[in-house]
Amino acid sequence: MYTQYCHNYHTALQTMTNLSNESAKFRAFIKKAEMATSKRFIDLLIMPVQRVPRYVMLLQAVLQYTKPDHPDYSQLRKALEEAQNAANVINEKLREAENRSKVIAIAERFDGTIEV
């Protein structure tokens, strides 16, 4: 699900921009939501995309200031490795989804339809 969200993030931004340009009602909804949360809607949309990379950076920083003989050091290293593995898997899935989209777009240029 996380990978799907990341893959569709740019489409969501484009949709939001289009709706904002076309609909006063949508602009009012976004303004109301931003006032209620004290955050820009666009900032809320990016938060899930940034989550795993932030965990990696946090764990790197904690490890930098943790002595190797500290009892938590090995578990922190393991947590960092797992977070990096998760980030790599997510990135690979995003690349695969992007490549699938490109293949479908090319195939549709030839015959206008494609069976998935």
Sign of the Cα torsion 58, 51, 1, 104 reads: negative
Confirm whether 99 is domain-assigned: yes
Residue 6: count of CB within 10 angstroms of its CB: 19
Helix (H) or strand (E) holding 5: helix 2-22
Q: What is the pTM of this model?
A: 0.64
Alpha helices in 23-116 (DSSP H): 24-37, 41-64, 73-111
Range of the domain at 103: 2-111
Confirm whether 116 is domain-assigned: no
The CATH code of the domain that includes 38 is 1.20.900.10
Confirm whether 58 is domain-assigned: yes
When divided into structural domains, the chain yields a total of 1
Quick: pLDDT tens for 11-55: 888 899 899 999 999 999 999 999 999 998 888 888 888 888 999
Alpha-carbon distance values, 100 to 10, 84, 87, 103 (Å): 16, 24, 20, 5
Confirm whether 28 is domain-assigned: yes
